[in-house]
Amino acid sequence: MATFNIDTFTSALEKGGALASLFECELTGGVGGTKGSVADWTFMCKGVVFPASAIDVATVTYMGRALQIPGNRAAAQLTTSVYNDEGMEIRNNIENWMERLNSHKTNKRDSAFIKILDYTGEMKVRQLKKDGSGSTKQYVFTNVWPSSCGEIALSWDTNDIQTFDITWEYAYWKSTQSTTGTD
């Protein structure tokens, strides 16, 4: 039976644990279909939900018995939550990017989007240290593109700053502090 010992717990929680509020997100390339970055993305991206890392199960049967073996890595989505500014700079860029990926009116992709790198970007998410000396971990999402730009609720009942979610698709992710995605 485990015994309660707060000192054992706190000694295992090195440096007090990572804080969910200490992060920054950088988006480059592909925004609005042009290379570069949205000027205030790092400040306006108020939250990120990391996708789960999962490997699909492949079932092989032998004489009536199902054996579970590792299959392919499951495709996941990255979600960001963004503050909306009065000029709607980020939202306008995302809507333009999506319009160029597939137009509402013509159901066609922009003819300038020939190669995948023409219409995708890169997103870096860094977990920051509490002492301000840099990051403890960085994830890099390669060939990101927005698959949905969430709704914005308007109401006379609130004075909150608007936020909306963006769902991102990507080719793969890698981490600079592990070997994940490096092969």
- Tens-digit pLDDT profile for residues 11-33: 888 777 888 889 999 998 765 54
pLDDT band at 82 (very low <50, low <70, confident <90, very high): very high
Average pLDDT of the segment spanning 40-53: 87
pLDDT higher than threshold 90 for residue 172: yes
pLDDT for 179 equals: 63
Q: Which domains, and CATH codes, for the chain?
A: 19-175 (2.30.110)
| 177 Cβ neighbours under 8 A, 6+ residues apart | 136, 137, 138
pLDDT for 9 equals: 81
C-beta separation of 125 from 139 below 8 A? yes
- Is pTM beyond 0.75? Reply is yes
Rounded distance between C-alpha atoms, residue 55 and residue 73, angstroms: 4
pLDDT for 33 equals: 44
Average pLDDT of the segment spanning 97-119: 92
Distance between the two ends of the chain, CA-based, in angstroms?
43
Indicate if the alpha-carbon torsion angle 128, 179, 35, 47 is positive or negative: negative
C-beta separation of 157 from 64 below 8 A? no
